[in-house]
Amino acid sequence: MKHTLCTILSTVVVLCFAASALAAPPSKVDCKKGGSISAMLAHLAQTGSTRGITILVSGTCKENIYISRFDHLVLQASPSATLQDASNGNAAVVNIVSSNDVTLQGFEVNGGAVGVVCWYFSFCTLNHNTVQQSGAQGVFFGRSEGLLQGNNIANNASFGVEGNASKLQTYTNTISNNGASGVIVDGGNLTATSDTITSNGVFGIRLLNNSVARVFDLTIDGNSAAGVHLESGSTASFEQINTGNVITGNGRFGVSVNDLSFAGFVGTNTVNGNLAQPDVVCNPQYSATRGAGTVGGTTNCPN
């Protein structure tokens, strides 16, 4: 009995030690005092400390940050911080590659070729950041997964958010005034809830190459072309949790369904008042909808 008890206690001690090792105290970087996130990450990589890391950041950090092969890394503004491009627009401000569960929280991200890149089988979370004034995409995902919540993604030269062969979840973001489409999904998956996608230079949302989207309670208005554009075998389901989706005042159609694509409208959705008619349009070839006649606007799609 004593031997068994000692074994149990030893196991508990080992498990407690392992848990405490993963829960390391936060590191701090103060860019006002010459600190560098890149230098901190390099130090952690050299010492093998690449798992379960939180870095609290303050000040304006003028650098281009490369994150590779980290696991459970949190970069958190404390209480506020700016990440400013130092490459004269030639590199991403934050470049995340081959990393699992990297969180960027509370930053203002300015400039760069791209604001934030998450690629090569990474999982990235962006919480309550402002990403603006990049030379191309605000946020780019390539062959990766992402969660975007409460961000302001605006005034980037190309797309606000691009997902290429990626799986994205978005919630309560504002995506506005980007030079091309607000959100583009190419061969991927999107679940979007309670986002506002407004005043972008082309589409609000564009889905292509067999992309699939479920969208809940979005506001999509004032975009220069269609509010939502589906092409090349893509599918979108417009669904209601609270208000339903509101797609109005866009420069072309509200929802444009094109070759081999499908749009379904479930519950209460409002698609009307767009500048090109009909509000829900079925274009050649072999496009289809369900529920297009329930959205309060005009349509040429068979019911």
Hey, which residues does 171 pair with through a beta bridge? 149, 193
Q: What average pLDDT score do residues 72-82 get?
A: 97
Give the mean pLDDT of 68-73: 97
- pLDDT category at 23 given cuts 50, 70, 90 is low
Cβ count within 10 A of residue 217: 21
Taking the CB of residue 22, how many other CB atoms lie within 10 A of it?
A: 11
pLDDT band at 303 (very low <50, low <70, confident <90, very high): confident
CA distance linking residue 54 with residue 58, whole number of Å: 13
Q: Would you state the structure tokens that stand for residue 69, as one six-digit string?
A: 């092969």
> If DSSP codes are grouped into helix, strand and coil, which group holds residue 272?
strand
Distance of CA 38 to the CA centre of its chain: 23
Q: In the CATH scheme, what is the homologous superfamily, with its name and number, of domain 66-294?
A: Single-stranded right-handed beta-helix, Pectin lyase-like (2.160.20.10)
Q: Rounded CA gap, 83 and 153, in Å?
A: 14
Q: Write phi, then psi, for 302 (nearest 5 degrees).
A: -60, 140
Q: What is the pLDDT of residues 103-124, one digit of tens each?
A: 999 999 999 999 999 999 999 9
57 close to 86: Cβ distance less than 8 angstroms: no
**How far apart, in Å, do the first and last CA atoms of the chain sit?**
74
Residue with tokens 């980007």: 178
In degrees, to the nearest 5, what angle opens at C-alpha 262 toward C-alphas 198 and 297?
55
**Are residues 112 and 91 in contact, defined by beta-carbon separation less than 8 angstroms?**
yes
pLDDT confidence bin for 90, thresholds 50/70/90: very high
Residue 163 scores a pLDDT above 60 = yes
pLDDT in tens, 234-265: 999 999 999 999 999 999 999 999 999 999 99
